[in-house]
């Protein structure tokens, strides 16, 4: 295959080629701008449409990641000029290939403070083994993407990073047919903060018609770690600026270099516990802002049926809490009451707090000291930070979503479990971030041997996601020699879920007991 060239709305692109896991070639176009660079007066603001360019844009290598401390590699990297996306496709229009294929748009995770859609972690080689077009997106992170100021005149109402993703989806609608992608069959999918973003896009009034199916992996809008802080008080305290003068605060921040912005961000305490909102995450915007991304509590929006009614897959791994515990380990286990999600709105005196702590301790740890029962700590973190909010979401959508909703749990433990391999975790279970190793080629991916358990699990998961993107259901065929199961959506009285392990198993749980983890019902 020769280097591909094509023309989109903004100008000409020069791409490159790659090979999928079977050795079949595909086309790559990387670092394509989907919005105007968010520099100068556009810092912290909603994105603006992309600019045209002259000549041919070199799209043969990854674009800039958004400025961050990369927590996987423990280094500072990136640029403020980072609103780019990557497109991977098996075909481009050439007079012969005129069919349009389902489009998958990936939204990366990283707790809204790190990560990118680039191919060092999200390599396309697995997904491109199916007839799909894959798009991966970089969006602003941390303070640059999620600063929220109350004064609407300053035009920094929050959620800039999420509005970046909306702009990318608009770009897809206008341009993806040039890559043989079908703009009328777009599936958004993401993990961690990407999963929360998928759910938020599902709820946002700004996204009608921009996607047609959704997959939220290990994240939803109700996860306590997804919510950010309204107003600039925490930033003002670091800068020693008056708490009531947001204009002075913004003027000060506009004079800072991107390096200084990250330094300020990292001086703000970010505990990553269930009981507190984070400094930077999504916020509920004022309804006075007619371009608001979201103005209503997610639970209330779902209960009122005010969301995009599209088919949805939502799920989690068997031991999400491993990853957070790994980061807490050196600091010691925080007080047990910090595991009660802030969304419970509990305000208790010391005696009530003591009772709650004792109840949690008895339920999860019985008479043993918590630090002697690592697996129970994993369960507690998993339940409070991930599984309970996801199950809460599933229970509401069972009644309110007019389209089918499917539930899964990933239990596969192989050499492809990304985070366990990265962090050298030996305990059994599937950690948060582990599942990305079965969808993407990462910098930790070993060679896949034909017939190995790794190759089998990858092939099955890719087929499930590909089926969903193509047909709107993950197991559309009655007799499937590969999958050998029928994964049904939620239905009355019970919820079937798919256990994605070395084998695929369909199980059911009642409305009171979630899959694989009865403790979550305690919440």
pLDDT digits (tens, 9 = 90+) for 145-197: 999 999 999 999 999 999 999 999 999 999 999 999 999 999 999 999 999 99
Proportion of the chain above pLDDT 90, given as a percent: 79
Q: pTM score, two decimals?
A: 0.95
The pLDDT-based confidence of 522 (bands split at 50, 70, 90) is low
Proportion of the chain above pLDDT 70, given as a percent: 93
Q: Report the pLDDT value the prediction gives residue 118, as an integer from 0 to 100.
A: 98
Q: Determine the Cα–Cα distance for residues 310 and 211; give it in Å rounded to an integer.
A: 8
Residue 27 lies in a domain: yes
Give residue 459's domain range: 5-323+387-509
Residue 361 lies in a domain: no
HSE-up (13 A, CA, CB side) for residue 71: 17
The pLDDT-based confidence of 336 (bands split at 50, 70, 90) is confident
- pLDDT at residue 262 above 80? yes
In 3D space, the residue among 111, 72, 74 whose CA is nearest the CA of residue 385 turns out to be 111
- pLDDT at residue 249 above 60? yes
CATH number at residue 55: 3.40.50.1820
Q: Report the pLDDT value the prediction gives residue 176, as an integer from 0 to 100.
A: 99
- pLDDT at residue 407 above 50? yes
Residue 88 lies in a domain: yes
Residue 357 lies in a domain: no
For the chain, the domain total comes to 1
Instruction: Provide the mean pLDDT of the chain.
Output: 92
Per-position b or e across 392-409, b if 16+ CB within 10 A of its CB: bbbbbbbebbeebbbbbb
Token pair, residue 319, equals 């031991």
Residue 291 lies in a domain: yes
Residue 382 lies in a domain: no
* Average pLDDT, integer, range 319-346: 80
Q: Report the pLDDT value the prediction gives residue 511, as an integer from 0 to 100.
A: 42
* Average pLDDT, integer, range 424-451: 96
Q: Report the pLDDT value the prediction gives residue 512, as an integer from 0 to 100.
A: 38
Residue 425 lies in a domain: yes
DSSP-derived letter for residue 383 is I
Using CA of residue 419, residue 25, residue 461, residue 448, what is the dihedral sign? Answer: negative
Using CA of residue 120, residue 170, residue 172, residue 471, what is the dihedral sign? Answer: positive
**Paired sense of beta strands 5-8 and 11-14, if any:** antiparallel
């Amino acid at each position: 295959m020769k280097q591909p060239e094509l023309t989109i709305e903004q100008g000409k692109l020069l791409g490159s080629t790659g090979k999928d896991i079977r050795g079949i070639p595909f086309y790559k176009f990387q670092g394509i701008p989907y919005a105007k660079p968010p520099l100068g007066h556009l810092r912290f603001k909603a994105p603006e449409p992309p600019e045209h360019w002259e000549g041919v844009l070199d799209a043969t290598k990854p674009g800039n990641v958004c400025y961050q401390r990369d927590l996987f590699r423990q280094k500072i990297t990136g640029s403020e000029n980072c609103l780019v996306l990557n497109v991977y496709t098996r075909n481009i229009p050439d007079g012969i290939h005129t069919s349009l294929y389902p489009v998958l748009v990936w939204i990366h995770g990283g707790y809204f403070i790190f990560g990118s859609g680039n191919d060092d972690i999200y390599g396309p080689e697995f997904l491109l083994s199916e007839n799909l077009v894959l798009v991966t997106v970089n969006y602003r992170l941390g303070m640059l993407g999620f600063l929220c100021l109350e004064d609407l005149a300053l035009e920094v109402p929050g959620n800039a990073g999420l509005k970046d993703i909306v702009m990318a989806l608009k770009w897809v609608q206008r341009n993806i047919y040039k890559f043989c992608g079908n703009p009328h069959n777009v599936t958004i999918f993401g993990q961690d903060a990407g999963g929360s973003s998928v759910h938020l896009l599902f709820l946002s009034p700004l996204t009608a018609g921009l996607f047609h199916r959704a997959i939220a992996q290990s994240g939803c809008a109700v996860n306590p770690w997804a919510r950010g802080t309204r107003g600039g008080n925490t930033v003002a305290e670091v800068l020693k600026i008056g708490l009531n003068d947001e204009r002075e605060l913004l003027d000060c921040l506009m004079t800072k270099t991107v390096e200084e912005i990250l330094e300020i961000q990292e001086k703000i305490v970010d505990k990553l516990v269930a009981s507190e909102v984070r400094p930077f995450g999504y916020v509920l915007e004022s309804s006075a802002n007619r371009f608001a991304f979201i103005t209503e509590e997610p639970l209330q929006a779902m209960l009122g049926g005010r969301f995009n009614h599209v088919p949805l897959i939502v799920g989690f791994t068997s031991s999400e809490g491993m990853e957070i515990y790994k980061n807490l380990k050196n600091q010691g286990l925080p007080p047990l009451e910090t595991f009660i999600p802030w969304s419970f709105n509990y305000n208790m005196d010391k005696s009530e707090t003591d009772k709650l702590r004792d109840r949690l301790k008895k339920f999860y740890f019985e008479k043993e000291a918590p630090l002697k029962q690592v697996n129970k700590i994993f369960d507690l973190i998993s339940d409070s930070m991930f599984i309970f909010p996801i199950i809460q979401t599933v229970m509401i959508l069972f009644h309110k979503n007019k389209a089918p909703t499917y539930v899964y749990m990933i239990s596969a433990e192989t050499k492809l479990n990304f985070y366990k391999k990265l962090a050298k975790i030996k305990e059994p279970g599937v950690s948060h971030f582990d599942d990305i190793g079965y969808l993407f080629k990462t910098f930790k991916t070993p060679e896949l041997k034909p017939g190995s358990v790794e190759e089998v699990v990858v092939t099955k998961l890719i087929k499930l996601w590909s089926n969903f993107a193509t047909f709107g259901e993950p197991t559309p065929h009655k007799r499937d020699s590969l999958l050998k199961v029928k994964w049904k959506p939620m239905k009355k009285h019970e919820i079937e879920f798919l256990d994605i392990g070395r084998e695929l198993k369909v199980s059911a749980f009642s409305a009171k007991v979630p899959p694989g983890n009865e403790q979550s019902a305690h919440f």
